[in-house]
Amino acid sequence: MPWWLNHIAYIGLFPYRYSTMQNIPITDTVVHAFAQLVDDSGNSGSYREPSHSDIEFQVNASGLTTFDPKQQGQLIGKAKRVRAVLYEAMTANPMAASQFAMGLLGKIRACGGFRDGSPNFVGSEAIANARSACDSVGFALADDGTLAPKVLTALRGPELTDALLGYARRAQRGAEDAALVAGTGKDLLEATAAHVLMTIRGSYPTGANFQTLLGMAFIALDLAVPEIPEVQGESPVRGMERGLFTTALGINRVRNKQGSGHGRPWLPTLTDAEAKAAIESVGTVASYLLAKLAIHGR
């Protein structure tokens, strides 16, 4: 049995943050929740800021004019307009979609959209829906409308599982700014492995290298690793698990060779295609570990 399978020690979860996620990731849930924030169609005909002009300013500032149905000649309400822009852009240009959402949120906040009693107050239900949507992608929406990425060190148990899973799913979708996001890939796997060990064993090794930490997490979940030989008649899934482990190690070696530290962009020598493949693979491995952890906890 390899030496790293027996390496155990204790430390609290290291300060892993969504530090490179300065803009909120856009998902279907976020799209619909943010559209609700500008929807004044149910206000008995009363007008509420932001105006169509305000929305257009944010659209143009984000470079999303081609996705704006109103600027293409359509007669459309504010909620449908915001929904259309975000829905198209979240796939075609996710960074710009995020920039638009953040700019729009800032305008809503500035005109009193989150202040009860303001003529532009968006309503408690819309705010609650937006808060839930932001939470699902690892962001916290405050009562005053300010938005900030969650700090994973402040989370424990199921809440941390959900936060990690949300980031893993985002990683599986890739990102336009691939080098920057891929630069956090190793951190995501480390955080996931540490969370697995903390949940199952109550501790994880302080001085362990990446292979040791990930290997211990695999073993704790009864997953196969290359160091444990194949047994005749074992499930083909075990071979897949060994492949996931090897893939994670390969990504880590590329990160160490190309990168310069936690949360920092990778060097230009890594192509966009390579970085995108790396972060998507990281998302797959992390998602698999978290799914197995959920089963383990039953």
Domain membership of residue 23 (yes or no) is: no
Domain end point (choices 118, 149, 180): 149
This prediction has a pTM of 0.60
The total number of structural domains that make up the chain: 2
Domain identity same for 215 and 246: yes
Q: Where residue 12 sits, what CATH number does that domain have?
A: 1.20.120
Domain end point (choices 108, 132, 149): 149
Which residue range is the domain that position 116 belongs to? 28-149
Per-residue pLDDT of the chain (298 residues), as tens digits, is 333 333 322 222 333 333 334 578 898 999 999 999 999 886 655 789 999 999 999 999 999 999 999 999 999 999 999 999 999 999 899 889 999 999 999 999 999 999 999 999 999 999 999 999 988 887 888 888 988 777 666 677 887 888 788 777 777 776 444 334 444 455 788 889 989 999 999 988 878 898 999 999 999 999 999 998 999 999 999 999 999 999 999 988 877 544 444 444 444 577 878 878 888 898 899 999 999 999 987 5
Domain identity same for 158 and 13: yes
Return the SS3 of 148: strand
Domain identity same for 190 and 83: no
List Cβ neighbours of 51 (8 Å cut-off, separation of 6 or more): none
Domain identity same for 158 and 145: no
Q: Which of 25, 36, 60, 221 is nearest to 136 (CA)?
A: 25
H/E element, 149: strand 147-149
Alpha helices (runs of H) in the chain, residue ranges in sequence order: 28-37, 52-61, 78-92, 94-110, 124-136, 157-172, 178-182, 185-201, 210-220, 236-258, 272-296
Domain membership of residue 141 (yes or no) is: yes
Domain identity same for 108 and 183: no
Residue-wise over 114-147: b if at least 16 C-beta within 10 A, else e? beeeeebbbbeebbebbbebbbbbbbebeeebeb
Using N-to-C axis directions, what is the helix angle for 124-136 and 28-37, rounded to 10°?
160
Domain identity same for 198 and 102: no
Domain identity same for 165 and 48: no
Residue-wise DSSP of 153-175: GG--HHHHHHHHHHHHHHHHT--
Domain identity same for 184 and 123: no
Token pair 């083909």 in the structure block, residue: 236
- For residue 191, the model assigns a pLDDT of 85
Cα separations in angstroms, 215 against 74, 210, 248, 296: 55, 8, 10, 17
Domain identity same for 44 and 127: yes
Cα–Cα distance, 205 to 243 (Å, whole number): 24
Domain end point (choices 149, 171, 195): 149
Domain identity same for 106 and 160: no
